[in-house]
């Protein structure tokens, strides 16, 4: 795994630099420089993400197909970029925190409080990663439903049988996509309508008890809530002030902010257990200079979210939103369908089916890498957490304060 | 072309109709197909009308003139299907009756012109002259009727027993799928279009019925697990203090669980049958989704039964350690159960249900089980990243061993690519646990170093640090092999303690040079163990200096040394690791302390009995003699008073000490007494100066090291 390979070289660098620097007196300047560079890189990376064109013309599938290089906000490829960026920030952060300095610093105020808080955030981020991997699984489920519809509706001429098949898949799709967050924990209540083979077609069969088909979610604990986790992660997030601002408190704060933002954005995009209230929850304080790109993104996503929250979308993933629109149109079409099909509609439907097919193709290409990347983020966070804990233990020993 | 994609595939899968079906009637018919079919055919225009009428009135009026039954029409259909290739071939070869072709082109396919290739058009044109006999439609009617009946609940599957009706229906579904596929080319044909649409609709309806059936059987026919597995949580609570969870194989339940996932054989074959029909009917995805969703829930339920709960990482970090310990015990049991029973059971099951589709069963299995494995690993990972502390070591090692021992069975179940992914995940968690274990174990060094208390243990007894360390090490050595492995495989981590890093690297180096494990001195674990022992020694040495009395510090060193040696000798693992040589060295150290003690306390005492100054020109100097007795008595009294408060709790050591003291003191005293007591006047003088007989001394020596502060021989004597 790349995570582990990376690990080796990183540790190598730490030890080399620590040994070099330990003896040197004038490393304070170097530290300040590192901090500034880190801040600049974080700022640049988010500005870059913000400048990705947010909109492509979703009505023409060909346009969408040709503009794959520009990634619309919250599309699969955009999320991959976001995660790439996260991994870069994370590596740099660890270097700033642990490399080239006397690690005993991190057991002294204010870091003795800030670092454990940071570690606590990372654990919550791990849970979010798990929930999101799980959420991607449900996106894939939507993809499969859409694929059925596409393969059924591609038949020419369309017959009742295939339309019926498409209709069933599409209504499942639309139900899956339009989930009311406030209805409770994600799609727990709707799992019954999620799958084939339930008597009574695509609609919930009341006589099946709620308990029998619990949450479709895999790795997530029953009462776990994405909203609560994000809120807990950002509740004690305070920018360092005064003298603290020039020390290590700053990068710890920055990295915390980055983690919170990235997790918030993932939760925004991917269906996830209980996201209520997050649309208006802004994890990043608005006045920060270096976070302007992040704040811009946050505002855009927030607006989008508020719009969709009323309708109750399962996730803001760009592909899913388009899928939802097309799905709804095609459901209407299948409901009104009579054999043989009216000629006037053929072209329109064909266009929609083709676009839906294109989205499916993109999901097919993108979801597995996305999932793997989230897993990589997961492993990386675990790894860093361990290293920081080690450093804390060590620092605790040196200063004689019992850590554990 | 996209829309054509499914069709040829289906043909390939089924081997129909081109290759002919193996059923008997087919071959008979195949010899004279045209005759058979043409006899029954009706004029084409009529067919069309009838189809239309029938679509409207089919419910009220089941075949009136000729009595059609599913059975009778089925045979006809089979015959028709098997003759189709020849019919089509004949039509393709024959010069076309152009009227029907023209009609078709004008009418239906004009809108498709852009999309369909000439070859397609040609093919359609060529077979559009095909005549479809009456009974086809009748057959479809009958199937529809059957499906409606079944759908409404009559003849619903009970406990996986397919009713006869259902069995017939399954056959029929097969035929209707074949019809649908075979006649698909005619879908744009103006004459047959409606009928084919009708066939398609009924086929979908039948598929929808099968979906429900498939799910119902999957969900409801499993022998209830609660009947087979006794409540796991209850068992767990019955023995909460089981230290090594690995020692709890629940052999009784595994025997019964061999049947996991617990579907009776005939149910499996029914499921297989339905799956086959669904997949050949083009509903592969629906079938797979149902399987996944039902089996996921079932797995959830099974894990739940074992007491396994989904916990978020965050929750685990906040749990008390004893609660985590309980989760670990459950986890270990669950993981083993999965690795040895559940996963392979699931694999057999999915392979049986999708017997004809190995790639489907493979991907279903991989996706399902990967999810379960990751879910399980998350808990182990959550434990591994929790704050480290000494008492966690053994549970971490339990987890480590469970992963190590059970993972290979899991790898074997997966196809290569997926196995690698799973392997990476498992190894990652194992690494994490291994590194944490090393870090905890090495932390023992630090707890020893930081034990800098300035108060000596009263009486020179065994120090709590010695007890703690040795018991910990003894326990750790029960995991010796695993710890050896952990140190070998995971000790590449940089040790934050820069002072010990260089030794550590040396250790690794020498380990690499000498991979044979025969020499325990070369393994990084025993090196670490040695380091701990050395540190403990150094610490004890420093602590012994806290005693002002050198004799007492010797006793302290003896006590602790003895304790350490006893612990090591009592555990073969740790003994083996430390080696005989080390033990011998230890014993000789102990002897030295013993000698030191003798010298310090008893040689001094014997000094009182020296003959120096006692004789003057052949005569005993009485005042000196009196002085000698006096000082001997006083000193012995003092020694007795102090040293009987000292503690030697090891009985053997205690008696060794007493014996050796007696051996030194008593003969010397006895001979002194024998030689000089005569010089004192019997009576008052003797009474005053000879307070102790040799036997008294022996008694008093036996009172030493009892930790008894009250015994003063003077007081008792009075």
* pLDDT per residue as tens digits for the range B672-690: 988 888 888 878 888 888 8
Distance between B47 CA and the closest CA of chain A, angstroms: 18
Q: Which residue has the higher pLDDT, B250 or B445?
A: B445
Residue B39 reports pLDDT greater than 70 = no
Nearest chain B residue (CA) to A398:
B497
- Give the pLDDT mean for B609-619: 83
Residue A365 reports pLDDT greater than 80 = yes
Q: Contact A162/B200, CB-based, under 8 Å?
A: yes
Residue B54 reports pLDDT greater than 90 = no
Residue A342 reports pLDDT greater than 50 = yes
Q: List pLDDT tens digits, range A8-23.
A: 444 444 444 444 444 4
- pLDDT at residue A361, rounded to an integer: 96
DSSP A313: -
Residue A70 reports pLDDT greater than 80 = no
Beta bridge partners of B298: none
Q: Which two tokens mark A64?
A: 């969408």
Alpha-carbon B169 to chain mean position: 45
- pLDDT at residue B395, rounded to an integer: 95
Query: In this structure, what are the phi and psi dihedrals at residue B310, rounded to the nearest 5 degrees?
Result: -75, 125
Q: Contact B432/A386, CB-based, under 8 Å?
A: yes
Q: List pLDDT tens digits, range B346-399.
A: 999 999 999 999 999 999 999 999 989 999 999 999 999 988 889 999 999 999
Q: Which residue has the higher pLDDT, B115 or A378?
A: A378
- pLDDT at residue A274, rounded to an integer: 83
Q: Estimate the crossing angle of helix A343-399 against helix A76-98, to 10 degrees.
A: 10
- pLDDT at residue B598, rounded to an integer: 93
Q: Contact A127/B314, CB-based, under 8 Å?
A: yes
Range of the domain at A337: 2-399
> What gap in Å lies between CA B627 and CA B615, rounded to an integer?
13
Assigned domain for A378 exists: yes
Output the average pLDDT for chain A: 78
Contacts of B494 in chain A (CB under 8 A): 11, 14-15
User: Which of A101, A128, A197 has the highest number of chain B CBs within 10 A, making it the mutation to test binding with B?
Assistant: A197
Nearest chain B residue (CA) to A160:
B201
Residue B16 reports pLDDT greater than 70 = no
> What gap in Å lies between CA B505 and CA B494, rounded to an integer?
9
Q: Which residue has the higher pLDDT, B469 or B508?
A: B469
Query: In this structure, what are the phi and psi dihedrals at residue B386, rounded to the nearest 5 degrees?
Result: -70, 165
Contacts of B385 in chain A (CB under 8 A): 123, 382, 385-386, 389
Q: ipTM score of the complex? A: 0.82
Q: Contact B313/A156, CB-based, under 8 Å?
A: no
> A216 and chain B: CB distance < 8 Å anywhere?
yes
Lowest mean pLDDT among A172-181, B282-291, B505-514, B709-718: B505-514
> What gap in Å lies between CA B45 and CA A169, rounded to an integer?
36
DSSP B494: P
Please give the share of chain B, as a percent, with pLDDT higher than 70. 73
- Collapsing DSSP to helix, strand or coil, B647 comes out as strand
Q: Contact A229/B203, CB-based, under 8 Å?
A: no
Residue B211 reports pLDDT greater than 80 = yes
Q: List pLDDT tens digits, range A109-166.
A: 888 889 999 999 999 999 999 999 989 988 998 999 999 999 999 987 788 889 999 9
- pLDDT at residue B161, rounded to an integer: 61
Residue B57 reports pLDDT greater than 50 = no
Lowest mean pLDDT among A28-37, A66-75, A334-343: A66-75
Assigned domain for A404 exists: no
Q: Contact B215/A198, CB-based, under 8 Å?
A: yes
Which of the listed ranges A202-211, A242-251, B351-360 does the model predict with the highest average pLDDT? B351-360
Assigned domain for A25 exists: yes
Q: Is the peptide bond before B261 cis (omega within 30 degrees of 0)?
A: yes
Contacts of A197 in chain B (CB under 8 A): 211-216, 286, 290
Query: A-B interface: how many C-beta pairs under 8 angstroms?
Result: 163
Which of the listed ranges A369-373, B108-112, B524-528, B689-693 does the model predict with the highest average pLDDT? A369-373
Count how many domains chain A has: 1
> What gap in Å lies between CA B437 and CA B443, rounded to an integer?
10
Q: Which of residues 286-315 of A touch B (CB under 8 A)?
A: none
> B274 and chain A: CB distance < 8 Å anywhere?
no
> What gap in Å lies between CA A300 and CA A307, rounded to an integer?
11
> B224 and chain A: CB distance < 8 Å anywhere?
no
Q: Which long-range contacts (CB under 8 A, 24 or more apart) does A242-251 make?
A: A244/A110, A246/A32, A246/A35, A247/A105, A247/A111, A248/A35, A248/A96, A248/A97, A248/A101, A248/A105, A248/A106, A248/A111, A249/A110, A249/A111, A249/A114, A250/A35, A250/A39, A251/A35, A251/A38, A251/A39, A251/A93, A251/A96, A251/A97
Residue B30 reports pLDDT greater than 90 = no
- pLDDT at residue A214, rounded to an integer: 29
Q: Contact A159/B311, CB-based, under 8 Å?
A: no
- Give the pLDDT mean for B563-581: 90
- pLDDT at residue B522, rounded to an integer: 64
Helices (H), A154-248: 160-177, 191-194, 226-235
Q: Contact A154/B3, CB-based, under 8 Å?
A: yes
Contacts of B200 in chain A (CB under 8 A): 159-162
Q: Which residue has the higher pLDDT, B635 or B42?
A: B635
> A86 and chain B: CB distance < 8 Å anywhere?
no
Lowest mean pLDDT among A248-252, B422-426, B518-522: B518-522
> B91 and chain A: CB distance < 8 Å anywhere?
no
Band of pLDDT at residue B19, cut at 50, 70 and 90: very low
Angle at B699 between CA B698 and CA B700, to 5 degrees: 90
Q: Which of B200, B289, B443 sits opposite A144 (nearest CB)?
A: B289
Q: List pLDDT tens digits, range B433-463.
A: 999 999 899 889 988 998 988 889 999 999 9
Band of pLDDT at residue A331, cut at 50, 70 and 90: very high
Nearest chain A residue (CA) to B451:
A400
Lowest mean pLDDT among A21-25, A44-48, B492-496: A21-25
Residue A59 reports pLDDT greater than 70 = no
> What gap in Å lies between CA B197 and CA A158, rounded to an integer?
8
Q: Contact B197/A400, CB-based, under 8 Å?
A: no
Residue B113 reports pLDDT greater than 60 = no
Q: Contact B387/A389, CB-based, under 8 Å?
A: yes
Residue A243 reports pLDDT greater than 90 = no
- pLDDT at residue A278, rounded to an integer: 82
- pLDDT at residue A394, rounded to an integer: 78
Q: Contact B378/A219, CB-based, under 8 Å?
A: yes
Q: Which of residues 447-486 of B touch A (CB under 8 A)?
A: 450
- Give the pLDDT mean for A291-310: 86
- Give the pLDDT mean for A26-33: 71
> B188 and chain A: CB distance < 8 Å anywhere?
yes
- Give the pLDDT mean for B549-563: 94
Nearest chain B residue (CA) to A228:
B314
Q: Which two tokens mark A54?
A: 């947010």
> What gap in Å lies between CA B415 and CA B411, rounded to an integer?
8
> What gap in Å lies between CA B653 and CA B268, rounded to an integer?
72
Q: Are A163 and A153 in contact (CB under 8 A)?
A: yes
Q: Which of B180, B431, B497 sits opposite A394 (nearest CB)?
A: B497
Residue B715 reports pLDDT greater than 50 = no
Residue B255 reports pLDDT greater than 50 = no
> B360 and chain A: CB distance < 8 Å anywhere?
no
- Give the pLDDT mean for B262-291: 91
Band of pLDDT at residue A399, cut at 50, 70 and 90: low
Q: Contact A157/B493, CB-based, under 8 Å?
A: no
Alpha-carbon B353 to chain mean position: 27
User: Which of B112, B364, B496, B497 has the highest number of chain A CBs within 10 A, making it the mutation to test binding with A?
Assistant: B496
- pLDDT at residue B492, rounded to an integer: 60
Q: Are B368 and B356 in contact (CB under 8 A)?
A: no
> A190 and chain B: CB distance < 8 Å anywhere?
no
Contacts of B212 in chain A (CB under 8 A): 197-199
- pLDDT at residue A378, rounded to an integer: 96
Q: List pLDDT tens digits, range B575-585.
A: 888 888 889 99
> A393 and chain B: CB distance < 8 Å anywhere?
yes
Nearest chain B residue (CA) to A390:
B496
Contacts of B310 in chain A (CB under 8 A): 219-222
Q: H or E stretch including B388?
A: none
Q: Which of A11, A165, A199 sits opposite B204 (nearest CB)?
A: A165
> A159 and chain B: CB distance < 8 Å anywhere?
yes
Contacts of B215 in chain A (CB under 8 A): 195-198
Q: Contact B3/A219, CB-based, under 8 Å?
A: no
Q: Which two tokens mark A320?
A: 């899913």
Q: Contact B311/A221, CB-based, under 8 Å?
A: yes
Q: Which of B112, B311, B385 sits opposite A156 (nearest CB)?
A: B112
Q: Which of residues 302-341 of B touch A (CB under 8 A)?
A: 309-315, 317
User: Which of B2, B285, B312 has the highest number of chain A CBs within 10 A, making it the mutation to test binding with A?
Assistant: B312
Q: Contact A156/B309, CB-based, under 8 Å?
A: no
Residue A184 reports pLDDT greater than 60 = no
């Amino acid at each position: 795994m790349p995570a582990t390979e990376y690990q080796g070289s990183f540790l190598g660098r730490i030890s080399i630099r620590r040994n070099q620097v330990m003896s040197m007196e004038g490393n304070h300047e170097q530290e300040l420089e590192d901090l500034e560079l880190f801040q600049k890189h974080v700022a640049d990376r988010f500005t870059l993400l913000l400048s990705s064109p947010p909109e492509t013309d979703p009505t023409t599938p060909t346009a969408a197909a040709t503009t794959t290089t520009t990634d619309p906000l919250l599309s699969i490829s955009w999320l991959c970029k976001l995660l790439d960026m996260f991994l870069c920030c994370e590596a740099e952060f660890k270097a700033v925190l642990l490399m080239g300095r006397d690690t005993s610093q991190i057991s002294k105020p204010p870091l003795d409080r800030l670092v454990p808080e940071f570690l606590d955030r990372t654990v919550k981020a791990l849970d979010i990663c798990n929930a999101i991997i799980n959420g991607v699984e449900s996106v894939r489920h939507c993809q499969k439903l859409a694929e059925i519809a596409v393969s059924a509706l591609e038949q020419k001429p369309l017959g009742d049988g295939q339309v019926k098949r498409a209709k069933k898949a599409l209504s499942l799709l639309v139900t899956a996509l339009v989930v009311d967050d406030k209805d409770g924990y994600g799609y727990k209540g709707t799992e019954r309508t999620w799958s084939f083979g339930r008597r009574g077609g695509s609609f919930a069969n009341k006589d099946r008890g709620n308990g029998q088909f619990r949450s479709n979610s895999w790795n997530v604990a029953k009462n776990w809530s994405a909203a609560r986790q994000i809120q807990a992660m950002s509740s004690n997030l305070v920018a360092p002030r005064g003298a603290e601002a020039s020390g290590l408190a700053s990068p710890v704060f920055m990295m915390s902010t980055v983690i919170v933002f990235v997790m918030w954005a993932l939760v925004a995009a991917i269906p996830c257990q209980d996201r209520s209230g997050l649309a208006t929850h802004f994890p990043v304080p608005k006045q920060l200079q270096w976070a302007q790109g992040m704040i811009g993104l946050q505002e855009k996503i927030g607006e989008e979210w508020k719009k969709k929250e009323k309708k109750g979308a399962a996730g803001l993933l760009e592909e899913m939103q388009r899928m939802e629109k097309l799905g709804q149109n095609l459901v209407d079409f299948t409901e009104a369908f009579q054999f043989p099909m009216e000629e006037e509609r053929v072209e329109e439907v064909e266009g929609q089916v083709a676009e839906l097919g294109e989205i499916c193709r993109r999901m097919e290409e993108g979801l597995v890498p996305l999932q793997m990347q989230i897993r990589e983020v997961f492993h990386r966070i675990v790894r860093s957490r361990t290293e920081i804990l080690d450093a804390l233990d060590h620092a605790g020993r040196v200063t004689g304060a019992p850590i554990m | 072309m996209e829309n054509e994609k499914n069709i040829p595939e289906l043909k390939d899968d089924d081997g129909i109709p081109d290759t002919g079906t193996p059923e008997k009637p087919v071959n008979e018919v195949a010899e004279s197909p045209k005759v058979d079919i043409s006899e029954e055919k009706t004029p084409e225009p009529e067919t069309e009308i009838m189809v239309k009428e029938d679509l409207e009135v089919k419910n009220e009026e089941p075949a009136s003139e000729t009595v059609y039954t599913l059975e009778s029409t089925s045979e006809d259909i089979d015959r028709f299907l098997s003759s189709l290739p020849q019919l089509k071939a004949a039509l393709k070869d024959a010069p076309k009756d152009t009227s029907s072709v023209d009609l078709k082109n004008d009418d239906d396919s004009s809108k498709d012109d852009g999309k369909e290739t000439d070859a397609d058009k040609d093919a359609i044109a060529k077979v559009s002259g095909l005549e479809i006999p009456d009974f086809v439609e009748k057959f479809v009617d009958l199937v529809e009727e059957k499906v409606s009946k079944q759908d409404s609940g009559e003849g619903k599957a009970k406990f996986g027993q397919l009713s006869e009706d259902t069995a017939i229906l399954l056959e029929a579904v097969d035929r209707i799928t074949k019809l649908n596929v075979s006649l698909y080319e005619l879908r744009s044909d103006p004459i047959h279009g409606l009928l084919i649409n009708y066939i398609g609709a009924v086929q979908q309806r039948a598929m929808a019925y099968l979906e429900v059936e498939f799910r119902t059987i999957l969900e409801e026919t499993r022998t209830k697990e609660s009947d087979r597995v006794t409540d796991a949580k209850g068992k767990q609570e019955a023995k909460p203090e089981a230290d090594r969870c690995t020692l709890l194989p629940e052999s009784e339940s595994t025997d019964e669980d061999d049947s996991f996932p617990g579907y009776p054989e005939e149910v499996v074959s029914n499921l297989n049958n339905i799956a086959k029909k669904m997949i050949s009917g083009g509903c592969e995805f629906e079938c797979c989704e149902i399987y996944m969703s039902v089996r996921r829930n079932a797995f959830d339920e099974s894990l739940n039964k074992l007491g396994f709960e989904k916990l978020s990482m965050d929750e685990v970090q906040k749990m008390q350690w004893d609660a985590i310990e309980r989760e670990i015990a459950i986890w270990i049991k669950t993981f083993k159960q999965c690795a040895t029973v559940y996963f392979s059971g699931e694999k057999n099951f999915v392979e049986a249900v999708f017997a004809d589709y190995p790639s489907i069963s493979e991907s279903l299995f991989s996706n399902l089980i990967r999810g379960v494995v990751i879910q399980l690993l998350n808990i182990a990972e959550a434990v591994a990243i929790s704050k480290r502390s000494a008492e966690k070591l053994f549970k971490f090692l339990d987890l480590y061993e469970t992963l190590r021992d059970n993972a290979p069975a899991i790898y074997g179940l997966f196809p290569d690519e997926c196995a690698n992914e799973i392997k990476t995940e498992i190894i990652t968690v194992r690494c994490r646990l291994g590194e944490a274990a090393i870090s905890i174990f090495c932390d023992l060094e630090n707890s020893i170093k930081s034990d800098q208390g300035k108060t000596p243990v009263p009486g020179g007894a065994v120090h709590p640090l010695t007890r703690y360390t040795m018991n910990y090490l003894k326990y750790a050595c029960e995991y010796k092999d695993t710890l050896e492995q952990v140190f070998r495989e995971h000790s590449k981590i940089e040790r934050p303690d820069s002072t010990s890093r260089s030794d550590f690297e040396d250790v690794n180096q020498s380990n690499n040079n000498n991979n044979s494990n025969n020499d325990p001195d070369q393994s990084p674990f025993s090196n670490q163990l040695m380091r701990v022992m050395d540190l403990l020694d150094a610490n004890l040495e420093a602590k012994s200096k806290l005693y002002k009395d050198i004799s007492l510090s010797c006793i302290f060193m003896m006590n602790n040394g003895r304790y350490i040696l006893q612990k090591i000798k009592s555990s073969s693992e740790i003994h083996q690791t430390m080696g005989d040589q080390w033990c011998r060295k230890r014993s000789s150290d102990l002897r030295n302390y013993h000698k030191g003690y003798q010298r310090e306390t008893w040689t001094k005492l014997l000094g009182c009995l020296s003959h120096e100054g006692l004789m003057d020109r052949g005569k005993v100097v009485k005042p000196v003699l009196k002085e000698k007795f006096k000082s001997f008595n006083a000193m012995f009294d003092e020694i007795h008073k102090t040293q009987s408060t000292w503690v030697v709790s090891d009985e053997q050591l205690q008696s060794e000490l007493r014996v050796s003291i007696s051996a030194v003191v008593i003969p010397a005293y006895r001979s002194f007494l024998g030689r000089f007591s005569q010089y004192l006047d019997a009576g008052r003088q003797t009474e005053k100066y000879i307070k102790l007989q040799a036997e008294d001394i022996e008694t008093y020596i036996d009172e030493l090291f009892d930790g008894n502060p009250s015994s003063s021989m003077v007081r008792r004597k009075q």
